[in-house]
Amino acid sequence: MKRFFLLCFVLLFPVTAAAMEIASPSEYGRVVINNYSEKSGMAPAVFDHWLHRSMYTCRLCHIDIGFAMEAGGTNITKEGNFGGYYCGACHDGNREYAGRKIFPACSDQPSADDMKRCDRCHSLGKNVKKEYEFSEFAAKLPQKGLGNNIDWEEAEALRLIRPADFVKGLSIKRPALKPQEDFSIKSHSSWMSDVIFSHKKHAIWNGCEVCHPEIFPAMEKSSARFSMLDIYEGQYCGVCHDKVAFPLRECQRCHVNPVQ
């Protein structure tokens, strides 16, 4: 039966070969930034979402700082970082996280010591000793599913991680919105149950602005029209899931019993 289901899955969603590739837990959500690095004689920069999402919300980086949510969509430059934009908005050598200063991203005229620091980000293909090792980090958090194998929702609920949603000078304080109740999205397949969507769970990291209006333009219930093909092509839920949020192969994480 499982083999039959997998065959049907592949036939229904032939565009998903890339999405079906399985990254290791430590590399899931990894972004390689190389718009200008190799052209400047530097190794491409490696950005690990697992480390940064444990410290900051998605909304903070993608709304307040303005990182695009598509590969190569943000033209990160050394000059921009050094000027306090992009990574340099936090990595400026002055801001602090958990009582520790955040190392500066770039230097105007880097010295030999600065070049060693450059390797902390420009590390692709290099054997760079990391300050934070994934295995040690993940061992302290509840485990679940695929992707990073971390139950991020439970880790946040237990206050094992406390992602900051405000950075002075970058963010604007907003009054908290009243959390909406969970609602169901009807499945149009006889072999798959309905989806339960929780605004509250998503708003912890995303706020409202990450999803609306760029990803989900329609705000009224049942007004959005999308399919699994759209999602597997990287639209709607697929903007985050299969990239940073848990992979789409975990069908049961969304397709559960209807709201009672």
Sign, CA torsion 115/123/145/241: positive
Per-residue pLDDT of the chain (260 residues; tens, 9 = 90+): 444 444 444 444 444 444 456 789 999 999 999 999 999 899 999 999 999 999 999 999 999 999 999 888 999 999 999 899 999 999 999 999 989 999 998 887 777 777 788 999 999 999 998 899 999 999 999 999 999 999 999 999 999 999 999 999 989 888 877 878 888 888 888 888 899 999 999 999 999 999 999 999 876 766 678 899 999 999 999 999 999 999 999 999 999 875 54
Q: In 3-state terms, what secondary structure has residue 100?
A: strand
Strand ranges inside the chain, DSSP E: 30-33, 45-48, 96-97, 100-101, 183-185, 195-197
CA 164 to chain centre: 15
In angstroms, the CA 204 to CA 219 distance is 19
Q: Report the distance separating Cα 96 and Cα 31, nearest Å.
A: 24
Nearest to 246 by CA among 167, 160, 145: 145
What the block records as the tokens of 200 is 């509250």
pLDDT value for 109: 76
What's the confidence (pLDDT) of residue 163?
96
Tokens 């139950």 locate to: 151
State pTM to two decimals. 0.85
Q: How far apart are the first and last CA of the chain?
A: 30
Ramachandran bin of 137, using left for φ above 0, alpha for ψ from -120 to 50, beta for the remaining angles: alpha
Instruction: Name the residue among 136, 135, 144, 142 with its Cα closest to residue 161.
Output: 142
Pairing label, strands 30-33, 45-48: antiparallel
Q: What pLDDT does residue 157 have?
A: 95
The full set of domains in the chain, from first to last, is: 30-137 (3.90.10.10)
The per-residue pLDDT for 21 is: 60
State the amino acid at position 64 in one-letter form.
D
Closest CA to 164 of 64, 82, 15, 32: 64
Residue 196: strand pairing partners: 184
The C-alpha atoms of residue 5 and residue 252 are separated, in whole angstroms, by 14
At 76 the pLDDT is 93
Name the residue among 121, 256, 246 with its Cα closest to residue 184: 256
Give the CA angle between residues 102, 105, 108 to the nearest 5°: 130
Rounded CA-CA distance 125/175 in Å is 45
